[in-house]
Structure 1
Amino acid sequence: MERQRSLSVSICMATYNGAAFIEEQLNSILPQLNNEDELVVSDDASTDGTWELLKNRQMQDQRIKLYRNQGKGVISNFENAMRHCQNAVIFFSDQDDVWKENKIDVMIHYFEKNPEATVVVSDLIIVDNDFKILISSYQEMRKTKTGFWQNLLRSSYIGAGMAFRSDLKKLILPIPDDVPMHDMWIGLLADENKGVMFIPEKLVYYRRHGLNATEINTTASFMQQVKWRWNAWRLVRRRLKEVQKKS
């Protein structure tokens, strides 16, 4: 049944060797989409049958749009998918999570009621491969707070819970090669104008199974983390100045 929404939705999914997990995520997302919505998937040269699985699902559902990324890594993979997203609000999706059945409607409601919000980030429930709860609230674990400087020092932006207005793409793209992660880059750009809203609803089962492409807690050294933060600040300032000059 079609849902009454004023904003169309693009789901931006990056895949790599996710055949063991991706069906559950597809099954949690597709029933939430309206006819004009789309699921845009970029696959990073999977070798485990992920691409063939996706092609088969695309034959069953034309809202699925598939693109190749040639093994360039997770940030490039999400960027490739993002470039092809056409609708008003873009949701990031990991290949191995599972969404609660009301995730899209809840988050779109926040965008509809808060026109100043450019990025909305939900809470997550962290689970193991069998969906046993490991941590009941990502936001509580990270002590999530809004604010540019707070999140530059300790980022609470997490792509698995993130959605943003597509107008932000002109600021986001292209993503610099040396940003720490795409979700931190997007969050900092939006938070500079106080456009980020963290919401308390737990809308994603965030699965950790030992094969994830990203970490919850970094294992980088203190000096590496300092360099990342300095570089992120420098890149954000540069991008904002570039956009201001063009406008």
Structure 2
Amino acid sequence: MYDVIMATYNGEKYVVEQLDSIINQTIKPNTVIIRDDCSTDNTVKIINDYIKKYTGDVNFEILDSTKNLGYIKNFEALAKAARSEFVFFCDQDDVWINNKAETFLKRAEEKPNVNLLFSDARLVDDKLQNIGFLWENIKFDPTQELTLPRLFKKSIVTGATMLCRRDFLQSLIPFPENLPHDLWLSTCSTYEGSIDFCNDQLVKYRQHSNNQIGVKRSHFIKKIVTPFEPDKIKYRIAHYRNNYLTNESMATFLLGYSNSKEYHEIKSFLIFIGKIYNINFYKCAGKHSFTQSIKAYIKYNDKKNVLFNMIDLIYVHIFGIKKESVNED
């Protein structure tokens, strides 16, 4: 009924715990598909030894991994290899709650028009001690409607908590370059109205220094100061660049999206953002009125970023952060 796709890289410390949690699910997967992205530690040997010793009914498939692809393209290669109706994304260092698959599959059967499901997660430290909850940390409110403006403001879907229908997943390959796969899949499913979630915390989402994407806690004073640091400006620019890549990629993949209201609203929003950060997201800025851009800016921008954007405007235009162009229009 379902496959698990696991991307690994230097995961020798935790990968066995994750594999144990998968094979001990109340509903077991058809196949666990693993691709290692050229680890320099003992990850591959540990996985091979694990499979040799395993005597259960779950199939394991190891994909060729002679080239380092990065985590996005690693998951793309894995997604291509999936054959079951449902596909779970899996990080190497987390631990699944034993009824995760069962809970997701029941929800998917109840919602045949849903292509992507995600859940909350328990945040844990290296030793799997609870340190909080994912949705609480990212301030995700499950009572609010899932809309495209909401996802453009903040990425709220974490890959380690996702289930996709295989046909939907493979229709969105190749994944866009430099765009997180969970953001790509969640925005497309949101636009199509085929996204939903489970309220349960079904993953122990490990937080440690080696996380590529994770939740970090900080002290109150640091939270006040860090938004105004130069690195945070670059972080916000990267966020808006992801907005641009998402919008243009959706225009390529989704039939009719380039003529949609959403596409042109996001374009207006990014034109306004581009003036703040001195970045030419689009050549045709003159086709969008100032009023259109302001309305789109308010609709698609997180409220807390409005103040930061105005301060960033000073940094960029007075202190001279280098102008960059990402225009492909």
- TM-score for the superposition, normalised by structure 2: 0.67
1:211 equivalent to 2:204? Answer: no
Question: 2:118 aligns to what?
Answer: 121
SS class of match (1:68): coil
In 2, distance between residues paired with 1:66 and 1:233? 34
Question: 1:143 aligns to what?
Answer: 139
Q: 1:19 Cα shift?
A: 0.7
Q: 1:233 Cα shift?
A: 1.4
1:110 equivalent to 2:103? Answer: no
Q: Which has the higher helix share?
A: 2
Q: 1:60 Cα shift?
A: 3.5
SS class of match (2:150): helix
The structure that has the greater radius of gyration is 2
Contact 2:189–2:195 (CA under 8 A) maintained in structure 1: yes
Q: Equivalent residues in 2 for 1:130-209 (5 A)?
A: 130-135=127-132, 137-144=133-140, 145=144, 146-179=146-179, 181-209=180-208
Question: 1:54 aligns to what?
Answer: 47
Question: 1:235 aligns to what?
Answer: 249
Q: Which has the higher strand share?
A: 1
In 1, distance between residues paired with 2:193 and 2:178? 24
1:31 equivalent to 2:24? Answer: yes
Question: 2:88 aligns to what?
Answer: 91
Contact 1:16–1:44 (CA under 8 A) maintained in structure 2: yes
Mark the CA change 1:48 to 1:153 in structure 2 (over 3 Å): closer, same or farther. Answer: same
Identify the match of residue 222 of structure 1 among 232, 236, 246: 236
Identity value in percent: 26
1:42 equivalent to 2:35? Answer: yes
Q: Which moved more, 1:220-229 or 1:119-128?
A: 220-229
Q: 1:243 Cα shift?
A: 10
Q: 1:214 Cα shift?
A: 1.9
Q: 1:228 Cα shift?
A: 1.5
SS class of match (1:221): helix
Q: 1:32 Cα shift?
A: 1.9
Q: 1:35 Cα shift?
A: 6.9
In 2, distance between residues paired with 1:226 and 1:36? 37
Question: 1:100 aligns to what?
Answer: 97
Contact 1:118–1:168 (CA under 8 A) maintained in structure 2: yes
Contact 2:89–2:160 (CA under 8 A) maintained in structure 1: yes
**Match of 2:92, as an amino acid?**
Q
CA RMSD of aligned residues (A): 2.1
In 2, distance between residues paired with 1:60 and 1:81? 23
**Match of 2:247, as an amino acid?**
W
In 1, distance between residues paired with 2:188 and 2:241? 18
Question: 2:281 aligns to what?
Answer: none
In 1, distance between residues paired with 2:255 and 2:244? 17
Mark the CA change 1:36 to 1:232 in structure 2 (over 3 Å): closer, same or farther. Answer: closer
Question: 1:63 aligns to what?
Answer: 59
Contact 1:99–1:203 (CA under 8 A) maintained in structure 2: yes
**Match of 1:92, as an amino acid?**
F
In 2, distance between residues paired with 1:148 and 1:11? 27
In 1, distance between residues paired with 2:50 and 2:235? 42
Higher relative contact order (CA 8 A, sep 6+): 1
Mark the CA change 1:64 to 1:15 in structure 2 (over 3 Å): closer, same or farther. Answer: same
Q: Which moved more, 1:148-157 or 1:170-179?
A: 170-179
1:122-160 Cα offsets, whole Å, 9 max, x none, are 11011110122222x212222325222211211111101
In 1, distance between residues paired with 2:26 and 2:47? 17
**Match of 1:116, as an amino acid?**
N
SS class of match (2:34): strand
Q: 1:57 Cα shift?
A: 2.1
Q: 1:54 Cα shift?
A: 1.3
Q: Which moved more, 1:124-133 or 1:103-112?
A: 124-133
Q: 1:36 Cα shift?
A: 6.6
Report the number of matched residues. Answer: 235
